[in-house]
């Protein structure tokens, strides 16, 4: 019996040792690893951001965690992230493929889209095409301003109908941001109660909240559970729904298309597909995921930043008032604001950038992976390693900001009151995989905020209680649902 017990104990120890991952030589440090679970018990699956900060204090700006059996390297602080994403950008330009968000996006089939696509010739071709096409359709030009101003009129109308009574702005801002990118992609806008917009926005919003949540983390960490009927299956249903809507939209769009006379992004892609033929990386399946990628990226981040902006401006009324004074002075005699007016509005620019900083809309960016064996600040990082940028660590980094832990536009103003942008401001990440839509987002935020602040005063409702500044965690952070009270300004 004793011999048998010893043999069983030896076998158990052997199995445990075999199942316990070991960090390679010269790999970034991290907490002790458990068999199968890795470091999952070290993290709050609901919102691990505070845990990542705690681990940074223990192990430094580059550390490693095992998400189940899968290792990941976490980058913190300006120095580490800039060296990886800019100085060694191509080494860190890959995307991990066997993950929840990838499987939801294409149901495990050939990887498509542009945001989640791995680094390679197909991704390079599609990114180059997107940059050129978006630029041709007015990114940063007057035509894009006209589209944004056209949508702002509907926002103003909605707010005018809500004067003096508590109003929930969540749907309004999501639909407005969605319509602006829809006009670029599809050449049309949708009424705010249109079923297409309602379903698309709802599916994307639900999936964004789930994608960095506990079920997604368990899905990524424990492949054995992936086929079980667990709550993450809802995200797969949403993925099927939006792809079906995308296919329907493309089919309808093709009926009115005139080859060689593009009206929008879809037409441009179809023209390119005609030129390249079937052997190309361009295809209709690719196009559907492409415009869904761009729609999500152009909607969720901008709308959540707007929601954050008005939430803070209501609760810091002296900042709202100073913005309005600058707006009134600069726009005196003008019918509407232009993007060029930002150069004469240093305080407004500072406020918008401070809103982006505290919003921290995509706190972990989009996960990267290494494209080759490389080194980073003395550590050896093997090819194919998952890389996670903790942008929270940059946007709140001590020594990089005058007031890193409070909402204060002075973070973006020099001693002369002029606008400046610190190196640590990187809400769109940096390097080869930097957000495609930065230019559009900057223009939307400026034109929408200035136009609405010029016309309305935004007030925290008296019966709303104390504001809760804790955001809802997901792929994107968003304020908890709130109401605003809107009044017409006496100067208008």
Q: CA-CA distance, 35 to 19, in Å (whole number)?
A: 5
- Quote the tokens at residue 17: 């040792």
- The residues, any chain, with a CB within 8 Å of residue 301's CB and separated by 6 or more, are 361, 362, 435, 437, 441, 476
Q: What is the pLDDT of residue 412?
A: 97
Burial classification of residue 205, based on how many CB atoms lie within 10 Å of its CB (0-12 exposed, 13-18 middle, 19 or more buried): buried
**Strand 368-369's sheet: what is its strand order?**
62-67, 70-76, 386-390, 368-369
Low-confidence ranges of the chain (pLDDT < 50): 1-19, 107-108, 110, 140
The domains found in the chain, sorted by start residue, are 12-488 (1.10.630.10)
Q: What is the pLDDT of residue 115?
A: 77
pTM: 0.89
Type and span of the H or E element at 488: strand 485-488
Q: Which of 392, 314, 389 is nearest to 359 (CA)?
A: 392
Q: CA-CA distance, 449 to 290, in Å (whole number)?
A: 29
Q: CA-CA distance, 367 to 93, in Å (whole number)?
A: 10
Q: What is the pLDDT of residue 21?
A: 64
Q: What is the pLDDT of residue 8?
A: 38
């Amino acid at each position: 019996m004793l011999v048998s017990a010893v043999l069983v104990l030896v076998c158990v120890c052997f199995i445990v040792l075999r199942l316990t991952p070991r960090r390679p030589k010269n790999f970034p440090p991290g907490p002790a690893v458990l068999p199968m679970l890795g470091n999952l018990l070290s993290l709050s699956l609901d919102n691990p951001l505070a845990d990542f900060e705690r681990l940074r204090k223990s192990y430094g700006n580059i550390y490693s965690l095992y998400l189940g059996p899968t290792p990941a390297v976490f980058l913190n602080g300006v120095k580490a992230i800039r060296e990886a994403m800019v100085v060694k950008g191509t080494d860190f330009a890959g995307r991990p493929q066997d993950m929840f968000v990838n499987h939801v996006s294409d149901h495990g089939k050939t990887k498509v889209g542009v945001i989640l696509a791995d680094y390679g010739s197909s991704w390079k071709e599609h990114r180059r095409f997107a940059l050129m096409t978006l630029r041709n359709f007015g990114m940063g030009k007057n035509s894009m301003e006209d589209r944004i101003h056209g949508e702002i009129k509907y926002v103003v109308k909605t707010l005018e109908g809500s004067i003096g009574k508590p109003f929930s702005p969540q749907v309004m801002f999501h639909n407005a941001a969605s319509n602006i990118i829809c006009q670029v992609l599809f050449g049309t806008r949708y009424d705010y109660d249109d079923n297409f917009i309602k379903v698309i926005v709802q599916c994307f919003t639900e999936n964004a909240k789930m994608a960095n949540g506990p079920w997604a983390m368990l899905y990524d960490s424990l492949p054995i559970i992936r086929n079980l009927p667990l709550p993450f299956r809802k995200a797969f249903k949403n993925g099927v729904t939006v792809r079906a809507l995308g296919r329907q939209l493309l089919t309808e769009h093709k009926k009115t298309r005139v080859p060689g006379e593009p009206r929008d992004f879809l037409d441009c892609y179809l023209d390119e597909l005609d030129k390249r033929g079937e052997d190309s990386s361009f295809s209709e399946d690719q196009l559907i995921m492409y415009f869904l990628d761009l729609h999500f990226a152009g909607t969720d981040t901008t709308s959540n930043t707007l929601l954050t902006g008005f939430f803070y401006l209501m609760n810091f009324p002296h900042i709202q008032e100073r913005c309005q004074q600058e707006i009134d002075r600069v726009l005196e005699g003008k019918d509407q604001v232009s993007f060029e007016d930002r150069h004469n509005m240093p305080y407004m620019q500072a406020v918008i950038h401070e809103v982006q900083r505290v919003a921290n809309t995509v706190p972990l960016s989009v996960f990267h992976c290494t494209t080759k064996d490389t080194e980073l600040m003395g550590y050896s990082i093997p090819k194919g390693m998952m890389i996670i940028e903790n942008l929270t660590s940059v946007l709140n980094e001590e020594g990089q900001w005058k007031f890193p832990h409070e909402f204060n536009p002075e973070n973006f103003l020099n001693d002369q009151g002029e606008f400046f942008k610190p190196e640590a401001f990187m809400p769109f990440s940096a390097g080869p995989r930097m957000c495609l839509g930065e230019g559009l987002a900057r223009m939307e935020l400026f034109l929408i905020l200035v136009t609405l602040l010029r016309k309305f005063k935004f007030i925290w409702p008296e019966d709303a209680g104390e504001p809760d500044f804790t955001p809802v965690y997901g792929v994107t952070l968003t304020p908890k649902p709130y109401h605003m009270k809107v009044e017409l300004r006496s100067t208008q």
